[in-house]
Amino acid sequence: MAAILHDIIATMRDKAVGEPADCVVSVAPIMRELLANAKSILGPEHYRANPDHYARNPVHIDEKGGLSLFAMVWSPGQWTPIHDHGTWGVVGVLDGILEERNFIRVDDRSHEFDHVKLARGGVILMSPGSVTSFVPNPDHIHVTGVADDRPSAVSLHLYGRVMNDYHVYDRDKGTRRLISVSMN
């Protein structure tokens, strides 16, 4: 790991304490520093695309279960499923326009995995240099991707845990389930 990246990760780890909202307030400005230095920190392995789906290229995975940082590469038309993370996170955009479409749970939450009703929420368009964040309150539910008519995008995603699984939602079936997610 490059010395600059090591120092930035150490600073993020030191600042990521307390409530999720405190973590993102402390870490979001550091993401801007990471974006400013990304071209000299990231290697070709972090920019690998996948023709079948968006690519999750690990930059840093804390083996003790702490922070994880991924470089995500999005080709036109590639989207995540509707999901939540179960943790806080900070996202910065390196290249392209990354789109986030939000959802809101409108059921009574009496069931965790079925009878889930989602309503569409707002949209965020993030351009290079943009930084956004999320906290579980109790869910930050969204899809993220690149529209068919836009060029590819590259973004950095920092999570408050090792991000190897998350909940996906099926609006038609009204379900929520935990799935494992892979990385390049």
pTM of structure = 0.94
Report the number of distinct structural domains present in the chain. 1
How confident is the model over 129-151, as pLDDT tens digits?
A: 999 999 997 789 999 999 999 99
Q: What is the dihedral of CA 106, 122, 24, 12, to 10 degrees?
A: 120
Give the pLDDT band (50/70/90) at residue 123: very high
How confident is the model over 80-122, as pLDDT tens digits?
A: 999 999 999 999 999 999 999 999 999 999 999 999 999 999 9
CATH number at residue 123: 2.60.120.10
Contacts for 41-44 with beta carbons within 8 Å, 24 or more apart? 41/2, 41/4, 41/5, 41/8, 42/71
Which run of H or of E encompasses 69?
strand 68-74
| pLDDT at residue 28, as a whole number | 97
Amino acid residing at 60: H
Q: Which domain holds residue 57?
A: 3-180
Q: Is the peptide bond before 138 cis (omega within 30 degrees of 0)?
A: yes
Q: Contact 164/180 with Cβ under 8 angstroms?
A: yes
